[in-house]
Copies of this chain bind each other. A is one copy, B any other.
């Protein structure tokens, strides 16, 4: 009775890919009908563009719309570019208002016009309302399909009203209780409604103490609150506490996953929405900028070394060991950077305790600097038999690791104040500083005391 579970879906997708390659599209038409739009999206993302074009015509309009929503931007762009205005409008117009709103920035004007033309007046109004909020705010996340009831009616009346509605919107776990002025006064969980007596009044059983979000709240804040307070849905209100819509946990799960992807991809200069089968030239270009920035920082470090060419030609062992100092500084700094970016984003590091955290990171960097300086000093002594060199690399290690750790801790707030995203630029900036400090301290000390 149950639908294919996860493993079976993966098997089915791989089966479809195999059959498609071996026997052509005709053999898999029936299999395609069994897939959920999210699985069609996964299938399309894992095959090259030429195969996507074979499959797409066999997906009906209703599932095409849902599939477009599920696809990553890179793959979606490619598919939409090949669709004409009518078929694109036909795929999109059945979607929920908030889903249409998300797609609108990518849709050609003619398609938007056609979708609006087909929509009824209510949907047009709703779309206008959703579009008036920035995509990454509570307003941009919300659905406008909240079911509202009045506080003074009985459970029996409410049930009659719900039966009249015939069907409730997806993810309805609660009804919103609003007064005559459309102001939110509480919420009633369906699970409380079904266990209540017919004669009870809504305001007796509704929860008056509920979490609300204002339309302008950033979506990251909303997502953190959903995670923290285990919410399934929550109302969005305007400044007068009037009910505007509701946010549901399925959208929040998407926000959290996208943010998680971004946090992993952005530090490597990658776009998390890119199609893995995008043409080589396209992908190369999108990655080149970040490599170029790294090249500049590498040349900054090289310039520093260039200042010490005489020192190095006096003792080539310096060239052998200098990457060790820079690399350990970079690693210690990245640890502090990562801890602080995370603490700031989950709210455990605040203005009140930031100084304590900075001092601690400096101390941790110093302790590890000392520990590994001892090791490196001994290894250098054994390798090159040069006590002065061994001492100098030890001191340089401590300086570099301690200062990189402190810099890693300070960097996120410095970058944020400059309007730069620390997730994106933190690693590059930190590595540059660690390289410069590492090379200057090691080669500088050597120039003074050794060569």
Contact present for A331 and B291 (CB under 8 Å)? yes
A250 to B253, CA, bound (A): 10
**Cβ of A388 under 8 Å from chain B:** no
Given contacts A162-B194, A269-B335, contact A249 B232 (CB under 8 A): yes
Residues of B close to A224: CB separation below 8 A = 6
Within 8 A of B (CB), among A268-303: 268-270, 272, 276-277, 280-281, 283-284, 287-288, 290-292, 294-295, 298-299, 301-302
- 18 new A-B contacts, CB < 8 A, other than A1-B184, A227-B254, are A2-B241, A3-B211, A5-B217, A17-B352, A46-B347, A168-B195, A256-B260, A261-B342, A264-B264, A270-B339, A280-B363, A281-B367, A287-B332, A291-B331, A298-B328, A312-B316, A313-B313, A323-B435
A386 to chain B, nearest CB (A): 13
Mask of A183-207 contacts with B, CB within 8 angstroms, 1/0: 0111000111111110000000000
**Cβ of A349 under 8 Å from chain B:** yes
Contact present for B320 and A309 (CB under 8 Å)? yes
Contact present for B260 and A263 (CB under 8 Å)? yes
A273 to chain B, nearest CB (A): 12
**Cβ of A38 under 8 Å from chain B:** yes
Given contacts A195-B163, A364-B287, contact A295 B375 (CB under 8 A): yes
* Closest residue of B by beta carbon distance from A147: B191
Which of A83-91, A115-123, A353-361 is the contact stretch?
A: A353-361
Cβ-neighbour of A320 out of B2, B284, B306 (below 8 A): B306
Contact present for A319 and B305 (CB under 8 Å)? yes
**Cβ of A208 under 8 Å from chain B:** yes
Residues of B close to A195: CB separation below 8 A = 162-163, 165-168
